[in-house]
């Protein structure tokens, strides 16, 4: 007797099944029949989607903080450059005037 190979499902498929289970319109059994997977697998993927969904929004916040940091850093660098030029100008003029 030859054993059938296991099916490998990609992450998009797992997410689709997990989201369908989260909607709770159909039972896990109905979803399992529709997508040709075991009902326990549907429950596992639903749980994984529930656990990982908040992490999605945390990463967006971190990215936004990094972008804000980049903008602030650029502003500060240009301010430093401006102040350096002004200081050089004042130093040069004060030497010219003998102060």
CB 70 within 8 A of CB 52: no
Q: Which single residue is written with the structure tokens 């059994």?
A: 29
Reported as a single tens digit per residue, the pLDDT across 56-77 is 777 666 677 778 888 899 999 9
Decide if pLDDT at 92 tops 80.
Answer: yes
92 vs 98: CA distance, rounded Å: 10
pLDDT-derived band at 81, boundaries 50, 70, 90: very high
pLDDT at 75: 94
CB 43 within 8 A of CB 28: yes
Decide: pTM greater than 0.75.
no
Percent of the chain with pLDDT over 90: 64
8 vs 28: CA distance, rounded Å: 20
């Amino acid at each position: 007797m030859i054993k059938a190979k296991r099916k490998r499902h990609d992450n998009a498929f797992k997410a689709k099944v997990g989201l369908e289970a989260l909607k709770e319109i159909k039972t896990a059994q109905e979803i399992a029949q529709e997508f040709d997977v075991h009902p326990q697998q549907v429950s596992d993927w639903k749980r994984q989607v529930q656990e990982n969904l908040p992490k999605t929004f945390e990463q967006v916040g971190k990215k936004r903080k990094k972008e804000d940091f980049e903008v602030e850093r650029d502003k500060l660098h240009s301010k430093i450059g401006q102040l350096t030029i002004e200081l050089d100008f004042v130093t040069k003029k004060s030497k010219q005037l003998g102060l």
